[in-house]
Structure 1
């Protein structure tokens, strides 16, 4: 990243984290970065454009912290539930990550702009590793291919991308229920 672009990104990150998306303006981002507003447009098309990039970086940072803090050798059911709980805990006080849950327009924009981000993410790669470990340890039910197990977890991603369309007051519990059902189905 070029030095001015890095300053814009850092300023946007700080402002989005402290004020949220709606209360942050391009003028504030440019001012905090010490550049003219026109310079902003040399690197980013819009406030939404820089937000998606900031969101992706913040999301990966949080995922890395979560996965570094959990024991990957605990029982699969406990591990997946712990990771999910940690995701919601880390998101609770983070205005950048909260936009995924509270802003349907940004949620859709993030989903549209991240077609391959799921497969490339730290969590997805870790899930692939865990499925291999569970398979090697004989924890998966007989006859279940790795592709089928992956497709079940991929369905959760689809649900997550469309969470604004789901009528529930407890999205965390809904995901927990779906994960429990998948684990009950795939594990011996």
Structure 2
């Protein structure tokens, strides 16, 4: 028996059924049929195990999102579709859903930063910056802003997830929808301006 794989399987099942907070190492080892000492040969803590599962599920979701979007579509529609699929994916996956569980998100976010979680989805950055460059070349996005700066702007929408407690958990994930809309309208020159201040983006 691949003991690590069995720990991962049991951990995923228990976390998915009972949640991160209510699942203990003893529950996992009992289901896996191993001693506690064996668990610690592979994972230093419950948090470490959970984060490995979280990162795996997050990568899977992001790959599915990239495969589903139309890179030739309207930028606002594409970004909104990506955000929608991400939020629906997070909400429907019991492992990823813990990211918004106010009782445990601080621990999860701390471990996510320790594990350099953003590095695991770097492939999404690499793929999407090419889409951004194409949009700029086609005149769909402002060309006076560097593509890497645009990606940095998009990244801020993602990174504020790690500051939910400071901003207010009750605003998530809706705040990200609004920010995405405002950013895209600003980058496409379609932001509504007060009367007398209508400006076109050259």
Q: TM-score, normalised by structure 1?
A: 0.88
For 1:14-163, list aligned pairs within 5 A: 14-102=13-101, 103-115=104-116, 117-121=117-121, 122-163=123-164
Residue aligned with 2:150, SS: helix
Structure showing greater radius of gyration is: 2
- Structure 1: state its 5+ residue gaps: none
The answer (yes or no) to whether the contact 1:118–1:124 under 8 Å persists in 2 is no
Point out the more displaced range, 40-49 or 59-68. 59-68
Counterpart Cα distance in 2 of 1:65 and 1:158:
20
Alpha-carbon distance in 2 for matches of 1:150, 1:69: 20
Give the deviation of 1:65 after TM superposition. 2.3
Runs of 4+ in 1 over 6 A off after TM superposition: none
Name stretches of at least 5 consecutive residues in structure 2 with no aligned partner.
190-202
CA distance in 2, matches of 1:9, 1:162: 29
Shift of 1:81: 0.6
TM-score normalized with structure 2 length: 0.83
